[in-house]
Structure 1
């Protein structure tokens, strides 16, 4: 009976090697998970900047569409928000007969991030309208 007690008590618990292997496996899994979370957050931030640049480009496009061609700005730049530069130009596209002459309205928006590693994000919208 004492031999049975000794055998069962020696098999209880985990050995040091088993514990170290389990800890190493968990550490590798945790590093992989943190890497995925980091990449996901960078993608979300980049998408937010792209959405903001698109919104500013659309805003200027609507302003230029609603102005008569003769009084609209030909070229211009502004800074609607810190870190965002918006440039636009109104260019006539060819000599079509009046009154249906077409003009091209091109709005370019560049988003620069002074801090961060995402770099510049460019949006260019182009449309045509009757003069």
Structure 2
């Protein structure tokens, strides 16, 4: 598998995470009959923030992962960045959606490690 194909797998999984979180927002909007905002519905607000948080972190990190792969990084680096970040997003999404603080916190730490790994790898592979 090439570095870009490997990155594509992680990008695809993260798109599915965004889709799942979005689907949960729409489902709650329909059941709560709220078309704009959260209408004071606590469960909808929680789902909106879970999706919003993922929307804030996933695009920039996946762009970084793609560029790292384009710079011919070794597969282990793509898997390390993509795997840690993606696991973090899954844990955080479940934690925030289900109000499970340990999952949410550990997921955020893994998310930050994945982001930091992408940033360091971008500098490393661009400058070497």
TM-score band w.r.t. shorter chain: 0.3 to 0.5
- Which structure has more strand as a fraction of its residues? 1
Select the structure with the greater relative contact order (CA < 8 A; seq sep ≥ 6): 2
**TM-score, L = length of structure 2:** 0.33
- Which structure has more helix as a fraction of its residues? 2
